[in-house]
Amino acid sequence: MLLVVGSGALVGLAAFGVLSLGEGERRAARVAFILAAVVSGACFLAAVLPPPAPLVATVVVLVVLITAVFLFFVPMGGVPAAGGRPSRRVDERDIMFARGPLVPGSPEYEAYYAMRPENRAGDDLSRSLPGLLAADAELAEPLAFAAADACFDLTEAVREQVDGEVAKECVERTPEEWTSALKHLARSFGALDVGVTELAPYHVYSHVGRGTGTYGEEIRLDHPWALAFSVEMDHRRVSFAPEAPVVEESARQYVESAKVALLLANWIRRLGHPARAHIDGNYRVIVPLVARDAGLGEIGRMGLLMTPRLGPRVRLGVVTTSMPLVADPPGDDLSVIDFCSVCRKCATNCPVAAIPAGDRTAVDEGLRWAIEPETCHRYWQVIGTDCATCVRVCPYSHPDSPAHNLVRRAIRSSGASRRAMLWLDDLFYGRFPARGPKCW
């Protein structure tokens, strides 16, 4: 038995080391190779020692294996309370992406700060900093910044295409048929995960803050259904965060999500059903909330959607429509809430402590972690990128591979295994994971 366990440890850990090298995770590879040598060597040595060494070693191995199986399969540990749902709509004019671009002296600037005078000083300070993709920002890199700007220019160029004329002839199918066809089409266009939910009032912003439409206008979105989807951000480029490659990748995936949303909305309208795409810079809905209720994942400590396969390493898109659809179960996942409660890696590694390190607080008749958006956004203005350090260090962000998916399965199984997997993540990747080298 010792020889079998030793051989298994040698092969398994060495394979994980090779996998980690392919992922650019040098520390994880180094730890895996060391453990492969130590564990297999200890088993092989114990097998050839005189009695009772083999028996004692066998008992130790059995205890470790039984404990591991017990942690993996038996639900145990505390179960946190569910987060609940918001009780009010959010004014888009209050989000940082709407406040940041306000031009001093413009009618929009004067109107907003007459309504929210307490935000003026902090926002003016942020506007005095170099800015996102600015040439004089701390992490400026001309090639990567130009690539990101090119992507943002494209989403800006197509933002008027989010809505359009609906065909006069309405094609009829059952809600089940429409849902199946729409999901299949979304995946063929490049979506990773796709889900459907009924559109709730708290999904929709209350007033226009950016994009098409009149600034400050009340938003009325009569579509009863929403389809949400994710697209993957490249793991290698996210590993450079907060360096310039991450903002280039972020911008590129905003283009991909816009492409999918625009194609889907246009397809739906051509079949005689109203539809609107919601893309970067021209949303009418709070995308993470729609995606959570469509079953794509749970909202984590950093305020982003934690998807089952890639954690927060995704970009999201939404299409709202009157086409009759079938809703998916929501993505509420108490294992994510529990893991985020004990992990805290995003909060520990946040350069400006914008992510809370404590427990969830009561917000809008629910529980959630409330980040400091002003602090986060201001840091972006200093470094010139969208940081994404929290995304890089999140244990859920590892690649979608059998080894990492086995860990994700263990995280979902029990509170004890979540704590054990966090310990292993710290062991292999560090409490403060190193970022990738510059690639430009």
Q: How confident is the model at residue 77 (pLDDT cuts 50, 70, 90)?
A: low
Please state, in angstroms and rounded to a whole number, the distance separating the CA atoms of residues 323 and 271: 9
- pLDDT higher than threshold 60 for residue 439: no
Per the prediction, the chain carries an average pLDDT of 94
Please state, in angstroms and rounded to a whole number, the distance separating the CA atoms of residues 62 and 210: 61
Name which residue leads in pLDDT, 309 or 54. Answer: 309
Quickly tell me which residue has 């309504």 as its tokens: 115
Please state, in angstroms and rounded to a whole number, the distance separating the CA atoms of residues 327 and 197: 5
Q: Which two tokens stand for residue 384?
A: 């010139």
- pLDDT higher than threshold 50 for residue 440: no
Q: How confident is the model at residue 363 (pLDDT cuts 50, 70, 90)?
A: confident
Q: Which two tokens stand for residue 211?
A: 């994009």
- CA dihedral 33→34→38→44, nearest 10 degrees, is 20
pLDDT tens, residue by residue, 164-186: 999 999 999 999 999 999 999 99
Q: Which of 305, 325, 329 is nearest to 315 (CA)?
A: 305
Q: Which of 360, 288, 283, 293 is nearest to 327 (CA)?
A: 293
Angle at 332 between CA 226 and CA 82, to 5 degrees: 130
Q: How much is the pLDDT for 396?
A: 97
Q: What is the mean pLDDT of residues 79-87?
A: 80
CA-only gyration radius of the chain, Å: 24
Ranges of beta strands (E only) in 244-310 are 275-278, 298-299, 305-306
- How many angstroms separate the Cα of 188 from the Cα of each of 66, 90, 161, 259? 43, 33, 20, 12
| Of 6-20, 310-324, 352-366, the least confident | 352-366
Query: What does pTM read for this prediction?
Result: 0.93
Please state, in angstroms and rounded to a whole number, the distance separating the CA atoms of residues 14 and 36: 6
pLDDT tens, residue by residue, 112-139: 999 999 999 999 999 999 999 999 999 9
Quickly tell me which residue has 């989807």 as its tokens: 229
Q: Which of 371, 402, 369 is nearest to 299 (CA)?
A: 369
Percent composition of the chain: helix, strand, coil (DSSP 3-state, to 5): 50, 10, 40
Q: How much is the pLDDT for 43?
A: 87
Q: Which of 37-41, 67-71, 77-81 has the highest mean pLDDT?
A: 37-41
Largest CA distance in the chain: 87
Please state, in angstroms and rounded to a whole number, the distance separating the CA atoms of residues 193 and 310: 10
pLDDT tens, residue by residue, 186-205: 999 999 999 999 999 999 99
Counting every residue written for the chain, the total comes to: 440
Q: What is the mean pLDDT of residues 24-44?
A: 94
Per the CB < 8 A criterion, the answer to whether 333 and 80 are in contact is no
